Structure 1
Amino acid sequence: MSTTDSEARRRIALRLKRARGQLDAVIAAVEEDRPCRDVVTQLSAVTHALDRAGFAVVSTAMRDCMVASEEGTEPELSVEELEKLFLTLA
């Protein structure tokens, strides 16, 4: 695993941990019967954090695919599979 790969994985894990914290805040807001605006604001933050983590995963896979192509090795995912993954996030 290259330094770039480990750094990308670290950033993705941090994004997911942030989303987990935001989701905990959504759950607490619901349990505390907080105003709808607070719940929706927190929920929006969770959604955004998860989207960004998903896009980071796909972009890392694309980068890995390009490196595999340059090295003449078989990439883990085909271009078509990457496109499908990307579209599931869009």
Structure 2
Amino acid sequence: MSHVAHASHPAIVKRLSRAGGHLRSVIEMIESEQPCVDIAQQLQAVENAVASAKRALINDHIDHCLVHAEEGEGPREAIEQFRAISKYL
């Protein structure tokens, strides 16, 4: 399957960059001995941001890559691509 340009990737990169910033903040919070409840709250925000980025990437793959596989390489390729990505759901 050939690579297809994804319009959603810049937004996903922004989400992950924000998550990276939150994660760096969590590390600083731990190092400065902030309250565990505050750290857990920030870790939850990091988790949610990464999960959201993953969902967006998978949905984009389903919406675009599988359609192209169906058009170009046939339904068998689309099914194989869906099986490959579904293990990350």
Give the TM-score normalised by structure 2: 0.80
Question: Which AA in structure 1 matches 2:24?
Answer: D
Q: Distance in 1 between matches of 2:87 and 2:67?
A: 17
SS at match of 1:78: helix
**4+ residue runs over 4 A deviation:** none
Stretches of structure 2 that go unaligned for 5 or more consecutive residues are none
1:13-38 deviation line (CA, Å, top 9, x unaligned): 00100100100110011011000111
Give the TM-score normalised by structure 1: 0.79
Give the % identical residues.
Answer: 31
Q: Distance in 1 between matches of 2:25 and 2:8?
A: 26
Q: Pairwise mapping of residues 1-90 of structure 1 onto structure 2 (< 5 A)?
A: 1-2=4-5, 5=6, 7-63=7-63, 64-69=65-70, 71-73=71-73, 74-75=77-78, 78-86=81-89
Stretches of structure 1 that go unaligned for 5 or more consecutive residues are none
Q: What's the RMSD between the two structures over aligned residues? A: 1.6
Question: Which AA in structure 2 matches 1:25?
Answer: S
Number of corresponding residues = 81
SS at match of 2:45: helix
Q: Distance in 2 between matches of 1:17 and 1:25?
A: 12
More relative contact order in 1 or in 2 (CA 8 Å, sep 6+)?
2
**CA positional deviation for 1:56:** 1.2
